[in-house]
Structure 1
Amino acid sequence: MSRVASIVCAVSLVLYGASCFILPASTPRGAPQQGAGAVAQPSASSVAPESAGSWSPIAIGAALGLLAAVATARPALAADLENGEAVFQGNCTACHAGGNNSIVAEKKLKKDALVTYGKYDVGAIITQVTNGNGSMPAFGDKLGPDDIEDVANYVYNKADKW
């Protein structure tokens, strides 16, 4: 339901924004202003007729393109947990399967162990993965910054479930 509400809201905003750029500005057609500072108005016969219903095809295309982009876009997340899981499976499970540690048994990836060693923080996990420490090798040269952030968020979110 929230996705439908988001789409309806986005469509409303796009249409309102498009109307600001697409619809021509209407000028009131009243009598010319009188007064000392008034500028003489040209006669009606010398002004080109203005079409009140003219629409710009470029603006319509831009509005529809924006609508399609908003309606089909995936929400941007700070961390991609699916990618983090894939990176973890490819690089970390050899030593950390199931949140355990096959090298140093007490240094697991479970919440209580991470809290004990001061690593229950995404920033601390990023530092650990990037630089390594003790028996753990550094992955800063092997993985990109986005992959390291994703795997750190994955470990942090998975720590209380292991």
Structure 2
Amino acid sequence: MLSLIMSVMLALALLWPTETLALPPSGADLFDLHCAGCHPNGGNIIRRGKTLKLKALEKQGINNAEAIAAIARAGIGQMSGYAEALGEGNEVIVADWIWEQAQNAWIQG
């Protein structure tokens, strides 16, 4: 009897639909995928003065992650917006990560 119950439970477990919960992407992953091509290690290969280093950000009046998220979403100057490429809400995740890196002088550890 016990083996019958165990067999039924195993069959149900194998056939029961499950939802896979996807983890949100990390800021580092989003940066590597969408930003690092032009901003390696917080630099800028297109416009040297427009880096993601703290001093350069502050010089441009960008002093928090929200301002970075707005730029990531809509773009600024020669940089196009990445709202569609990043996906809904992911500009905040990557902006938080960028701001943290800027605060730590882009020292990767």
TM above 0.5? yes
Residue 36 of structure 2 aligns with which residue?
A: 93
Task: Give the C-alpha shift of residue 146 in structure 1.
Answer: 2.6
Residue 95 of structure 2 aligns with which residue?
A: 152
Alignment: residue pair count: 82
Residue 61 of structure 2 aligns with which residue?
A: 118
Gaps in structure 2 of 5+ consecutive residues: 1-23
Task: Give the C-alpha shift of residue 117 in structure 1.
Answer: 0.3
AA aligned to 1:155 is I
Q: 4+ residue runs of structure 1 moved beyond 3 angstroms?
A: none
Give yes or no for contact 1:103–1:135 (8 Å, CA) kept in 2.
Answer: no
AA aligned to 2:68 is I
AA aligned to 2:76 is N
In terms of Rg, which structure is larger? 1
Task: Give the C-alpha shift of residue 120 in structure 1.
Answer: 2.1
| Partner deviation per Cα, 1:95-137 (whole Å, 9 max, x = no partner) | 0001101111001101011111011211110110000011111
The 2-side partners of 1:134 and 1:86 are apart by: 24
The 1-side partners of 2:61 and 2:95 are apart by: 14
Higher relative contact order (CA 8 A, sep 6+): 2
Give yes or no for contact 2:42–2:53 (8 Å, CA) kept in 1.
Answer: yes
Give yes or no for contact 1:130–1:139 (8 Å, CA) kept in 2.
Answer: yes
Give yes or no for contact 1:84–1:150 (8 Å, CA) kept in 2.
Answer: yes
AA aligned to 2:53 is K
Alignment of 1:1-162 (within 5 A): 83-160=26-103, 161-162=105-106
Give yes or no for contact 2:34–2:86 (8 Å, CA) kept in 1.
Answer: no
The 1-side partners of 2:88 and 2:59 are apart by: 26
TM-score, normalising length from structure 2? 0.70
TM-score, normalising length from structure 1? 0.48
